[in-house]
């Protein structure tokens, strides 16, 4: 009798080889096509409505992709890619996704033509290294040559594709002032610009041009009680992370009382414990108390009597920034090593003054003249929430770009100039190689042209003609010694011409471009490596039966 070995049934499907590649490329193209039309100074916005009906209107690549619920695993790589770019550089999220998708598409065509993915990958890697080197050595310009205007121009370039493009002069100055006011030097003597210290507050009403920069860190909440003073100076700030409410017994603690009078004593003791805590705070010299949790009315009474400002329900994030700026320690419990409750005056932070001010119809508590790092707040005004949110996103990008420009000190011309120059350079480089990587590098060079192409298509201009002209300029810039200055020629999208973008003030930090190339290549390689996809299907468990 023959025994048939039964393989356990694994429910799922497996695709391999070309099918998977094509599928991955199609998925990535689909993602790129969504953000494609939002690239550049004339890009269009997207309206995203989530499952509970909240509307987001934006053209920030990372935000669009975050809101889309992407199912396909390869397309997810692109979403993560945009987030990475957002974290590392802050801007260029749309470009990085478009370049990655284009690299993939071209690589897929090469694989179809019987070129092994490994050759393509090594070609792409080589092209990426060469491209980054070329940007750093030949195309980038030191900021010192261009002065403060270059920072403003970088901010304007970053905002040009956003909602606030019309007021970009006004906002660029705001952004540059904000970034420069949080300048600090760390222990190693490096100059850093922690833009997290710039708090962005959104207030309804007035027009966008009424936005302004406030000196000091603003908390988006008012004082906890009306009887408190409006202003305390100099301020000693305590940052707490627990409730200042009547102390309750922990859950599961049982107290058996035989005498009802004892019960009253327990209640009294509970009330006194909170009082003692607050007295400890005030004795240490605190006259401003911020807590992330609540403060009940009984506790507020003591603060009012002492003439201190207390603020409850402060966001954790704000609390961290305040603690950092004032040199306070965030205290999450009063217990010390011995189990006694103490509060050291060294935990307090210092500031020149703490005031409550009114912006439109909201009260905000401003912490001014902070001790360690200076903090500023950008107060945005605008007609409605969508507008304010989009302004916030645009300013986040611009702030990041100015920070990067200040820290790296090198900028490149924008408007497709870098991509065109690299494309011409890499194409020439490919012809000098006698190895298999040649074709991959040539395709890499072609892929970079997607940026100027999309820019001109979005501007309703003739992409083919403009890109051809642009390449011609860059070719002569790289081959003729007397035409070196042409290397910063880029697109002028409002006129539909080619112009020198360095002179026109369309500039971006060199780091942003280098990161776009690196991240896009890495993502494309990651997806290109895949040649097998196994999807497991969840098994329906049968109610406890085997």
Q: Which tokens go with 71?
A: 């199912």
Q: Which tokens go with 103?
A: 């690299």
The distance from CA 255 to its chain's CA centroid, rounded to whole angstroms, is 51
Catalytic entry in 397, 405, 410, 492: 397
Q: Specify whether the CB–CB gap between 240 and 289 falls below 8 A.
A: yes
210 is an active site residue: no
Q: How far apart are CA 451 and CA 43, in angstroms?
A: 12
Catalytic entry in 45, 60, 389, 492: 60
Find out whether the peptide bond into 509 is cis, omega within 30 degrees of 0: no
361 is an active site residue: no
**Rg of the chain over CA atoms, in angstroms?**
30
Q: Specify whether the CB–CB gap between 233 and 308 falls below 8 A.
A: no
Catalytic entry in 94, 274, 373, 405: 94
60 is an active site residue: yes
Q: What is the largest CA-CA distance in the chain?
A: 101
Q: Which residues pair with 381 in a beta bridge?
A: 203
Q: Which tokens go with 490?
A: 């880029």
CB count within 10 Å of CB 375 equals 28
Q: Specify whether the CB–CB gap between 218 and 337 falls below 8 A.
A: no
Q: Specify whether the CB–CB gap between 46 and 58 falls below 8 A.
A: yes
Q: Which tokens go with 441?
A: 């590098």
Q: Which residues contact 253 (CB under 8 A, 6 or more apart)?
A: none
Catalytic entry in 56, 93, 157, 292: 93
Query: In sequence order, what DSSP letters do the residues of 309-336 get, joined into one string?
Result: EEE-S--HHHHHHHHHHHT--EES--B-
Distances (CA, A) of 352 to 69, 188, 243, 253, 345: 47, 27, 27, 45, 17
Q: How far apart are CA 45 and CA 35, in angstroms?
A: 9
Q: Specify whether the CB–CB gap between 441 and 430 falls below 8 A.
A: yes
Distances (CA, A) of 194 to 390, 407, 456: 22, 11, 35
Q: Would you name the residues annotated as active-site residues?
A: 60, 93-94, 397
């Amino acid at each position: 009798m023959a025994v048939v070995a039964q393989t356990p049934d694994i429910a799922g499907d497996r695709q391999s080889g070309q099918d998977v590649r094509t599928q991955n490329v199609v998925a990535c193209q689909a993602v790129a096509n969504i953000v494609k039309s939002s690239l550049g100074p004339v890009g269009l916005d997207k309206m995203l409505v989530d499952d509970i009906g909240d509307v987001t209107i934006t053209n920030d690549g990372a935000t669009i992709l975050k809101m889309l619920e992407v199912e396909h695993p390869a397309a997810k790589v692109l979403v993560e890619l945009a987030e990475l770019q957002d974290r590392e550089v802050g801007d260029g999220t749309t470009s990085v996704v478009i370049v990655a998708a284009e690299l993939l598409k071209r690589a897929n065509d090469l694989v179809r033509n019987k070129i092994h993915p490994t050759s393509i990958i090594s070609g792409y890697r080589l092209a990426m290294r060469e491209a980054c080197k070329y940007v750093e050595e030949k195309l980038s310009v030191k900021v010192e040559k261009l002065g403060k205007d270059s920072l403003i121009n970088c901010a304007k370039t970053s905002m040009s594709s956003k909602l606030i493009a019309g007021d970009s002069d006004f906002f660029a100055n705001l952004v540059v002032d904000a970034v420069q006011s949080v300048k600090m030097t760390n222990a190693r003597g490096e100059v850093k610009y922690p833009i997290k210290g710039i708090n962005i507050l959104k207030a309804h009403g007035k027009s966008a041009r009424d936005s302004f920069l406030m000196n000091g860190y603003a908390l988006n909440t008012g004082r906890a009680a009306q009887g408190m003073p409006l202003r305390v100076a100099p301020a000693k700030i305590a940052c707490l992370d627990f409730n200042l409410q009547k102390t309750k017994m922990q859950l599961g603690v049982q107290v058996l009382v035989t005498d009802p009078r004892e019960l009253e004593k327990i209640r009294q003791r509970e009330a006194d414990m909170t009082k003692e805590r607050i007295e400890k705070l005030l004795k240490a010299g605190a006259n401003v108390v911020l807590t992330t949790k609540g403060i009940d009315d009984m506790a507020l009474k003591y603060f009012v009597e002492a003439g201190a400002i207390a603020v409850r329900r402060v966001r954790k994030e704000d609390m961290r920034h305040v603690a950092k700026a004032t040199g306070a320690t965030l205290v999450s419990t009063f217990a010390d090593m011995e189990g006694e409750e103490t509060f050291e005056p060294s935990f307090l932070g210092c500031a020149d003054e703490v005031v409550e001010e009114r912006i439109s119809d909201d009260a905000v508590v401003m912490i001014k003249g902070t001790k360690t790092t200076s903090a500023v707040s950008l107060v945005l005004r605008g007609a409605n929430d969508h507008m304010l949110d989009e302004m916030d996103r645009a300013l986040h990008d611009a702030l990041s770009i100015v920070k990067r420009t200040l820290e790296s000190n090198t900028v490149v011309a924008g408007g497709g100039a870098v991509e065109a120059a690299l494309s011409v350079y890499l194409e020439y480089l490919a012809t000098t190689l006698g190895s298999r990587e040649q074709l991959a590098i040539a395709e890499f060079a072609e892929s970079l042209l997607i940026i100027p192409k999309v820019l001109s298509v979005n501007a309703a201009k003739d992409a083919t003609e403009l890109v051809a002209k642009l390449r011609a300029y860059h070719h002569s810039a790289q081959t003729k010694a007397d035409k070196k200055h042409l290397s910063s020629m880029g697109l002028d999208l409002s006129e539909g011409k080619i112009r020198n973008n360095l002179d026109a003030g369309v500039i971006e930090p060199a780091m942003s471009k280098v990161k776009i190339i690196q991240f896009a290549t890495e993502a494309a390689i990651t997806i290109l490596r895949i040649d097998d996809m196994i999807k497991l299907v969840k098994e329906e468990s049968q109610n406890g039966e085997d």
